[in-house]
Structure 1
Amino acid sequence: MPPRRARVAPRRLIETIGSDPATSHPTERVQGDETDQTVLDGPDHGQESRMGGSTQVMELIREVVGLVRQQRGPQQLFPSASSSDQGRSIAEFRKLAPPAFKGTTDPQEAEWWIDEMEKSFRAMGCTEEEKIRFATYMLQDRAHHWWESVERTMMQDAGSVTWPGFRMAFYSKYFPSSRIRELEREFLSLSQGSMTVEDYEAEFDRLSRFAPSLVQDPKSRMSRFEEGLRPRLRQGLAAVHSTDYDDLVDRAKNMEII
Structure 2
Amino acid sequence: EFLQLKKGNKKVGEYASKFEELGAYSALFYHPDERMKCIKFEDGLRPELRKAVRILEICDFPTLIHKCHFLEGFDHNKDNRPKSFGPQFNKKRNNEGKPYDRPQWKP
Shift of 1:241: 3.0
2 CA distance for matches of 1:240 and 1:220? 15
Cα shift readout 1:150-174 (whole Å, capped 9, x = no counterpart): xxxxxxxxxxxxxxxxxxxxxxxxx
Q: Describe how 1:28-39 pairs up with structure 2 within 5 A.
A: none
Corresponding residue number in structure 1 for 2:49: 233
2 CA distance for matches of 1:188 and 1:237? 20
1 CA distance for matches of 2:35 and 2:42? 11
Shift of 1:214: 1.6
Cα gap change, 1:243 to 1:223, in 2 (>3 Å): closer
Shift of 1:242: 1.7
Cα shift readout 1:139-195 (whole Å, capped 9, x = no counterpart): xxxxxxxxxxxxxxxxxxxxxxxxxxxxxxxxxxxxxxxxxxxxxxx1010000010
With normalisation by structure 2, the TM-score equals: 0.64
Q: Is 2:7 aligned against 1:189?
A: no
With normalisation by structure 1, the TM-score equals: 0.27
Higher relative contact order (CA 8 A, sep 6+): 2
Cα shift readout 1:46-72 (whole Å, capped 9, x = no counterpart): xxxxxxxxxxxxxxxxxxxxxxxxxxx
After TM superposition, where is structure 1 displaced by more than 6 Å over at least 4 residues in a row? none
Query: What amino acid maps onto 1:234 in structure 2?
Result: R
Higher strand fraction (1 or 2): 1
The alignment yields a C-alpha RMSD, in angstroms, of 1.0
1 CA distance for matches of 2:47 and 2:57? 17
2 CA distance for matches of 1:229 and 1:197? 8
How many percent identity over aligned positions? 29
Corresponding residue number in structure 1 for 2:28: 214
Paired residue for 1:204, among 10, 19, 31? Answer: 19
1 CA distance for matches of 2:40 and 2:14? 16
2 CA distance for matches of 1:253 and 1:221? 17
Segments of structure 2 that go 5 or more residues without pairing to the other structure are 75-107
Q: Is 2:65 aligned against 1:249?
A: yes
Decide which structure has the larger Cα Rg and report it.
1
How many residues of Structure 1 are paired with residues of Structure 2 in the alignment? 72
